[in-house]
Amino acid sequence: MKRRCNLSGRCGGCTYANVPYADELLDKRVQEEKLLSRFHEVAPILQSDRITGYRCKVQAVCGMDEGRIVTGIYRKGTHKLIPVRFCPLEDERAGRILETIRSLATRYGIISYDEDMGFGDLRHVLIRTAAHADEALVTLITAQDKLPHESDLAAAIHQKHPFVKGVIAIKNREKTSMVVPENAEPRIIYGRGYITDRLCGLRFRISPVSFYQVNPYMAERLYKIAMNMAMLRSSDRVIDAYSGTGTIALIAASYGAGEVLGIESNPEAVKDAEENARMNGMDRVRFINADASKYMKEAAKRGEGCSVLFLDPPRSGATEEFLAAAGRMAPERIVYISCSPESLQRDLRYIRRFLPYRIVGIQPVDMFPGSEHIETVVLLTRMREERRR
C-alpha cells in the first residue's frame, strides 16, 4: 500500500504521509508500549485495511488567492493557510465537492472571511460523506446571516453532485479557533440536514455537528473489539458516556444488553441518537442531554449503578470527577476507548491508584493512518473485595 503527498512537509497534518506503512505501525507500537505497558501487556496494533481515502469528515479552511477562494488547512501550530487541492487521506468525493465550491464561489462573488478585517462571507466548509452509501452533507460556516446567491449555490452543488443530500449554513462570527461555535444553529439551504450510514449492521443518522468516527471502516472493527471485551448479557445495565450519535449504545443493545443509557452533552447529537434508536427499533436504549462528569456524579449520589460502562471521551480524556463517580457506580466491566495514549495513561494511573479495577486488556487500533494519532481500547474489570486486601 502506497500514498504520496507533496504538502505533508508544509501543512504538518500527516506525519506519516510519505512513510512506509510498516514503519508507521512500528512507531505507533513503540509509542503505545512506552506509555501503556506499565499497566498491562499491549497487544499488537490492529492495522487499517485502508490507508488512503478513509476520512469521511473533511474540514476545510477558506482563504483568498489572487481574487479567488482557495480551501485548505492551517499549517500545524500556525494560522497560515496551506491551500489543498487533493488530500490522499480524505474521501475523494469530498475533494470533488470542494473543487466545485471553489469554482461556484467565484461565479457568485463569494469571498472568504478575513478575521483581521472582520469582512467577508465564508470561513470554512465542512463535508461529511457516508462510507456505505452514496450520500454527502455540505455545511458552510459563514460570517454573515446569508451568503450571496446561497440558494443558487446550493442548487448548483447538488446538480453537479446529486449524492449531496443537503447543504447547510452555520453562522460563526466569534473570534475563536472553533470551526463550529457552541450552541450552533444549523440552517438548511437545500435538501435535508443529515445523511445516513450503516455501521455494524445498524443505520445511523449523521448531522453536521454530531460526533461520528471519521474512519467508519475501522470504527466497525473497533466497536466489535469493544463489544467482545464487554461480554454483554441480557441482564446488563449499560452506560455509554460521551455517546455522540449513539453508535456504541445502539451496537451494545444489538449485542444483547438489557438496558442502555447514553449520555451526551451536544443536544444535536442527542436528537440524532434518539432518531437512530427509533430507526433501528431499539426501545431498550435511551439518551439524555447532559455533561457526562456531572451526570455520573449525581447518579452516584442517588445510588444508581450499572454493570458495564463504555466511555469514549474527547482527546483530553476523562475527568477525575467522572472516574471517581464511575468507581462509586461500581460497574463490573469498564471499556475505555481512547483517541490519545497520553490522556489514557493519565486516566489509567488514576484508576489504578484510587479505584478497585484491574486492567486485563489493551488493544491499539490504527484508526488514523498517515497521522500520529492512535485509538486504544482498554478493558478493566472490578476486583472482588478479598482480592483487594
By annotation, the residues acting in catalysis are 339
For residue 116, give the DSSP letter: T
Q: Does residue 367 sit in helix, strand or coil?
A: coil
CA 183 to the chain's CA centroid: 18
State in Å, rounded, how far the first CA of the chain is from the last one.
51
- Torsion, Cα 126 200 337 11, to 10 degrees, reads -30
The crossing angle, in degrees rounded to 10, of helices 341-354 and 320-329 is 50
Q: How many CB atoms lie within 10 A of CB 297?
A: 18
Cβ 154 vs Cβ 146: under 8 Å: no
Query: Which stretches of the chain are assigned E, i.e. beta strand?
Result: 57-65, 68-74, 81-83, 122-129, 136-142, 164-171, 187-191, 195-199, 202-206, 237-241, 259-264, 285-289, 308-311, 333-338, 357-365, 375-382
d(C-alpha 42, C-alpha 223), whole Å: 18
